[in-house]
Amino acid sequence: SQQGEEDPQALSIQEGENATMNCSYKTSINNLQWYRQNSGRGLVHLILIRSNEREKHSGRLRVTLDTSKKSSSLLITASRAADTASYFCAVPNSGNTPLVFGKGTRLSVIA
């Protein structure tokens, strides 16, 4: 069955550095989504990339998708302490069923 898996599980960087997290999945997809979750809060949608797109930007976020490797990466440039959160990728499952979420990458940005 479909599964999204983020790597690394946890990442700690200094403010101003770039943060890169990756997502791998098992079966073919038509889109991949990234969400952010602040501690103790709900998830917030960040970006959706379709299978015919290789790269997409939104502000300081850059997402890439390599369907041949079944993987995606999320890059946050010039990170800020406020970027500290968990980041989840979500991929479609088979049939008309909801997204499948990974376990997330916990990002800590140290001021």
First to last CA, the chain: 40
Report if residue 101 touches another protein, rule: CB under 8 A.
yes
Q: Of 40, 52, 68, 69, which lies in the binding site for another protein, with binding defined by CB under 8 A? A: 40
Cβ proximity of 61 and 13 under 8 Å: no
Report if residue 96 touches another protein, rule: CB under 8 A.
yes
CB of 51 to another protein, least distance (A): 10
Nearer to another protein, 40 or 59 (CB): 40
Angle at 29 between CA 97 and CA 65, to 5 degrees: 135
**What are the backbone angles phi and psi of residue 31, rounded to the nearest 5°?**
-165, 160
Over the window 42 to 61, marking each residue x when it contacts another protein by CB under 8 A and - when it does not, the resulting string is: xxxx--x-------------
